[in-house]
Amino acid sequence: MYYVDPHIHMVSRITDDYVRMARAGCVALSEPAFWAGFDRGSAAAFGDYFDQLTIHEPRRAAQFGIHHMCWLCINAKEAENVALSREVLAIIPEYLDRPGVLGIGEIGLNKNTKNEVTIFEEQVDLAMKTDELILVHTPHLADKYKGTRMIIDIMTSDSRITPDRVLIDHVEEHTAKIALDAGFWVGMTLYPTTKCTTDRAVDIVERFGTERIMANSAGDWGVSDPMAMPDLLRKLRTRGHDAMSIHKLVYENPLRFFRRSKRYNFAPPIPVRE
Ligand SMILES: [Zn+2]
Mean pLDDT of 96-120: 96
Ligand 1 centre from 162 Cα, in Å? 22
Tens digits of residue pLDDT in 186-239: 999 998 776 789 999 999 999 999 999 999 999 999 999 999 999 999 999 999
pLDDT confidence band for 274 (50 / 70 / 90)? confident
Per-position DSSP letters for the chain, written without gaps between them: --EEESS--GGGS-HHHHHHHHHHTEEEEEE-----SS---SHHHHHHHHHIIIIIHHHHHHTTT-EEEEEE---GGGGGSHHHHHHHHHHHHHHHTSTTEEEEEEEE-SS--HHHHHHHHHHHHHHHHTT-EEEEEPPPGGGHHHHHHHHHHHHHT-TT--GGGEEEES--HHHHHHHHHTT-EEEEEB-SSSSB-HHHHHHHHHHH-STTEEEE----SSS--TTHHHHHHHHHHHTT--HHHHHIIIIIHHHHHHTTSTT-----SSPPP-
Protein residues with C-beta less than 5 angstroms from the ion ligand 1? 34, 218
pLDDT confidence band for 21 (50 / 70 / 90)? very high
Tens digits of residue pLDDT in 243-262: 999 999 999 999 999 999 99
Ligand 1 centre from 211 Cα, in Å? 22
Whole-structure pTM value: 0.96
pLDDT of residue 273: 87
pLDDT of residue 140: 80
| The pLDDT of residue 270 is above 90 | yes
Ligand 1 centre from 189 Cα, in Å? 9
Ligand 1 centre from 174 Cα, in Å? 20
Ligand 1 centre from 222 Cα, in Å? 11
pLDDT confidence band for 144 (50 / 70 / 90)? confident
Ligand 1 centre from 190 Cα, in Å? 11
Ligand 1 centre from 8 Cα, in Å? 6
pLDDT of residue 196: 86
